[in-house]
Amino acid sequence: MGGRRSAPAPRPAAAVAVWALLLALLSGCSGGGSAADGIVTLRFQSLAWQKESVAATKELVKEWNRTHPAVRVQYVQGSWDTVHDQLLTAFEGGEAPDVIHDATDDLADFAHGGDLADLRALLPAALKADIPARSWRTATFGAGVYGVPFLQEPRVLIANSRLLKASGVRIPTPERPWSWPEFREVTKKLTAKGRYGIGWPLREPVSLTLNLGLSAGGELFHRGADGTVRLAFDAGDAVVPETVHDQVNADRSAARTTLGMGGSDTLPGFFGGRYAMVPLGFSYRQQIVQQAPKGFEWTVLPAPAGSAGLDQGVSPQTLSIARDSAHKREAAEFIAFLLRPPNMVRLAEGDWMLPTGTGALKDPALRTARYGWATGAALARELRPAPAQSVRGYPEWKDKVATPAYQEYYSGAIGLDELRHRLVGEGNRVLVRYQR
Amino acid sequence: MRSRTGPVGRAGQYLALLGYLVFLAFPFLWLVSTAFKPARELGSLHPTWLPRHPTLDNFRQAFDEQPLLRAGLNSLLAAVSAALIAVLVATPLAYAIARRKGRLATAATGWVVVSQAFPFVLVVIPLFLVLKDLHLIDSLAGLVLVYVVWALPFALWMLIGYVRAVPRELEEAAAVDGAGRLRTLVSVTAPLLAPGLVATWLFAFITAWNEFFFALVLLKTPQKQTLPVVLTHFLGAEGAADLGPLAAAAFLATLPSLAVFAVIQRRITGGMLAGAVKS
């Protein structure tokens, strides 16, 4: 033990005081605007996250601020991973951003909870007319419209061009897509020693299965005349699950190991030639462009079609206005500016997604064959609201019933009858609780 | 006492220890490796430990896209302040609880344990409303207040142990020598408690430095966001991530913790050993 120490010198106290001063100074640096000078300040929480989309969004905010001196927009970066919890707290505390970027499948709770403004009377006619009715349906809850759907992405097949050509299979187009049975045959042909025809990333199997299931007429969720929703598993609902199940367990043309993977996890195997095709969201093309080895040739193909053609469910990205916002009119004007067709094109290019607006979709930049833009643009008219996104109780059904049921079915642990029983029997018990 | 472990046994122990260290270090080493890999190597089917073509592009991109320096300074301010205040508040409380026996001390100790069981999501909305009434939403001062409250129970718990490790006899001996209560505390107890204070400060610092959820919901202004919140901006929907810049930023975010730990680890070790041997 050391010798006796003297009483504490005043230095630590001084350090504490300096630190407290610094903290107070930094805490006082408010970024918020003031209404005292007559300038309205809107907070816009954006979920743009890729380099190009962040740049495009920030640039548009700058342009707005340059041309609208009386209404300043403050860009606030949000995150897809945490947006729901953050908004939930912000709404409860009355501190939500004025303009909110989210996706339609996350809006239902907030719309039903009265946290979002009904946009019908706020938006200009030109914007309303530019976005097709089927897209507006994705953000319509009850009688109100609670978000402007502006970006969406179909699921497409990304294929290794060399393997595809070498196999001699017919190359599908949006005009002549593969049928589901044809697709199954193709994946068999593409399968060879050390290579699978396809790698299905099915860590989150529910939305992929339901969204692609629309092509075969599968709806699973059926709304009655009284507005209540019931689950029913028809022949159309079985097409996609049976195809995947048989590819994995009977044909061995789909890799079993990818069943537990997310989309990004399959890319190394795709680049390495282990899977000839991977079904991914349209925006994954950006990762492929960035990460693919030099000389790797790839192409974008439409997902297979069923009795309903190329129909596919989507949950578009949206812009909403908080109900408590004191400047709803200004917020709506800003949204209308952000979603003018040329601006929508810039946002779509930045996110590698498709715009919902018909004007933006006509832009030549989104119709080039490069990186599969033309294929995606051709699919845009086939996109429908995801089957379950406005169904109350869907999140619980998805997590507790459907996810484990689909995972077990795809791995071969249970059969189709058991899958049907669990999705419908157990599922309806969940939904009933939400619809009493 | 002589060890009964032979050379083979000892070699086995070292091997096991080495394996454990590798296991612990793996995520960090992989993070470092990823931070220096170009995008094309990140998508390789056969990833390598060392980047084949090391690059600083991920760091450049991370700094270009997000205000990492500003966020780092915010985190540092919040974490250092919260840790300091937590230790200042916890020390006298811990001393009182450790030195006094009775129902109050037992109840206080019990409350410390129970308070650790509250999940974040349970308290965040009431907390949000309270801070709003105090006009402390969107301020680092409010965040520091939350971190202090959050770190206090465990800091108290740690310090109680350290105070109990200081032999009461030393204080009694000082009193016999004529030292008053304050003099005894300052000249005898405080120096012996210093390693424990440092260890507790470090715990509170790391807790606040890594905290994400409160910072996410309490801070609105981009210029005030802390590093863990800014790191999530490299994440997209459905688990997509801008992996290279994310790894680079996450690597940088671990450095202050490591630096603080490296500087004061000797004092922590001293603190852990204090009172371990009865003289």
Which tens digits make up the pLDDT trace of A212-243?
999 999 999 998 888 889 999 999 999 999 99
Average pLDDT over every residue of A60-84 = 94
Average pLDDT over every residue of B199-221 = 91
Q: Does the beta-carbon distance from B42 to A291 stay under 8 Å?
A: yes
- Chain B from 59 to 78: CB within 8 A of any A CB: 61, 64-66, 73-74, 77
- Chain A from 187 to 226: CB within 8 A of any B CB: 203-204
Q: How confident is the model at residue A146 (pLDDT cuts 50, 70, 90)?
A: very high
Q: How confident is the model at residue A6 (pLDDT cuts 50, 70, 90)?
A: very low
**Confidence at residue B269, expressed as pLDDT on a 0 to 100 scale:** 61
- Flag whether pLDDT at A277 surpasses 70: yes
- The pair of structure tokens assigned to B186 is 């300052």
Tens digits of residue pLDDT in B64-110: 989 999 999 999 999 999 999 999 999 998 988 888 877 877 887 78
- The pair of structure tokens assigned to A359 is 């004007």
Range from A170-179, A208-217, A300-309, B190-199 carrying the lowest mean pLDDT: B190-199
CA pair distance B74, B77, nearest whole angstrom:
5
Average pLDDT over every residue of B252-276 = 72
Q: Does the beta-carbon distance from B140 to A26 stay under 8 Å?
A: yes
Best of B238, B246, B273 to disrupt the A interface (most A CBs within 10 Å) is B238
- Flag whether pLDDT at B16 surpasses 60: yes
- Flag whether pLDDT at A15 surpasses 80: no
**Confidence at residue A73, expressed as pLDDT on a 0 to 100 scale:** 97
SS3 call for A231? strand
Task: Name every chain A residue with its beta carbon within 8 A of the beta carbon of B238.
Answer: 80, 204, 262-263, 281
**Strands A155-160, A298-302: pairing kind:** antiparallel
Average pLDDT over every residue of B179-206 = 88
**Confidence at residue B125, expressed as pLDDT on a 0 to 100 scale:** 82
Q: Are A263 and A425 in contact (CB under 8 A)?
A: no
Q: Does any CB of chain B come closer than 8 Å to the CB of residue A82?
A: yes
pTM, rounded to two decimals: 0.83
Task: Name every chain A residue with its beta carbon within 8 A of the beta carbon of B239.
Answer: 203, 262-264
Q: Using CA coordinates, name the residue in chain B closest to A45.
A: B220
- Flag whether pLDDT at A19 surpasses 90: no
Facing residue for B45 by CB, picked from A7, A268, A287:
A268
Tens digits of residue pLDDT in A367-378: 999 999 999 999
Mutual angle of helices A403-411 and A205-213, in 10-degree steps:
80
Q: How confident is the model at residue A18 (pLDDT cuts 50, 70, 90)?
A: low
**Confidence at residue A390, expressed as pLDDT on a 0 to 100 scale:** 78
**Confidence at residue A2, expressed as pLDDT on a 0 to 100 scale:** 36
Q: Does any CB of chain A come closer than 8 Å to the CB of residue B27?
A: no
Q: Does any CB of chain A come closer than 8 Å to the CB of residue B125?
A: yes
**Confidence at residue B270, expressed as pLDDT on a 0 to 100 scale:** 56
Q: Does any CB of chain B come closer than 8 Å to the CB of residue A20?
A: yes
Q: Does the beta-carbon distance from A5 to B232 stay under 8 Å?
A: no
Name the average pLDDT for chain A: 90
- Chain A from 322 to 341: CB within 8 A of any B CB: none
Mutual angle of helices B7-35 and B243-273, in 10-degree steps:
140
Tens digits of residue pLDDT in A380-404: 999 999 888 778 888 889 999 999 9
Q: Does the beta-carbon distance from B238 to A281 stay under 8 Å?
A: yes
Facing residue for A272 by CB, picked from B40, B45, B186:
B45
Average pLDDT over every residue of A169-179 = 97
Task: Name every chain A residue with its beta carbon within 8 A of the beta carbon of B144.
Answer: 23
Q: Give how far B271 is from chain A: nearest CA, Å.
A: 12
Average pLDDT over every residue of A404-426 = 97
**Confidence at residue B2, expressed as pLDDT on a 0 to 100 scale:** 55
Q: How confident is the model at residue B39 (pLDDT cuts 50, 70, 90)?
A: confident
- Chain A from 228 to 257: CB within 8 A of any B CB: none
Q: Does the beta-carbon distance from A268 to B47 stay under 8 Å?
A: yes
Q: How confident is the model at residue A47 (pLDDT cuts 50, 70, 90)?
A: very high
**Confidence at residue A13, expressed as pLDDT on a 0 to 100 scale:** 53
Q: Does any CB of chain B come closer than 8 Å to the CB of residue A13?
A: no
Facing residue for A264 by CB, picked from B65, B216, B239:
B239
- Flag whether pLDDT at B183 surpasses 90: no
- Flag whether pLDDT at B241 surpasses 90: no
Q: Are B244 and B226 in contact (CB under 8 A)?
A: no
- Chain A from 28 to 47: CB within 8 A of any B CB: 28-32, 43, 47
Q: How confident is the model at residue B3 (pLDDT cuts 50, 70, 90)?
A: low
Range from A87-96, A133-142, B207-216, B268-277 carrying the lowest mean pLDDT: B268-277
- Flag whether pLDDT at A10 surpasses 80: no
Q: What percent of chain B has a predicted confidence (pLDDT) above 70?
A: 93
The most confident of the ranges A33-42, A310-319, B173-182, B186-195 is A310-319
- Flag whether pLDDT at B182 surpasses 70: yes
**Confidence at residue B277, expressed as pLDDT on a 0 to 100 scale:** 45
- Chain B from 214 to 243: CB within 8 A of any A CB: 216-217, 220-225, 229-230, 232-243
Q: What is the DSSP string of A79-141?
A: -TTTHHHHHHHHHHTT---SEEEEEHHHHHHHHHTT-B---TTTS-HHHHHHS-HHHHHHTEE
Which position has the higher pLDDT, A31 or B137?
B137
Average pLDDT over every residue of A116-122 = 97
Q: Does the beta-carbon distance from B40 to A293 stay under 8 Å?
A: yes
Q: Does any CB of chain A come closer than 8 Å to the CB of residue B170?
A: no
Instruction: Give residues with Cβ within 8 angstroms of A369, minimum separation 6.
Output: none
Q: Are B264 and B256 in contact (CB under 8 A)?
A: no
- The pair of structure tokens assigned to B31 is 């993070």
Q: Does the beta-carbon distance from A8 to B45 stay under 8 Å?
A: no
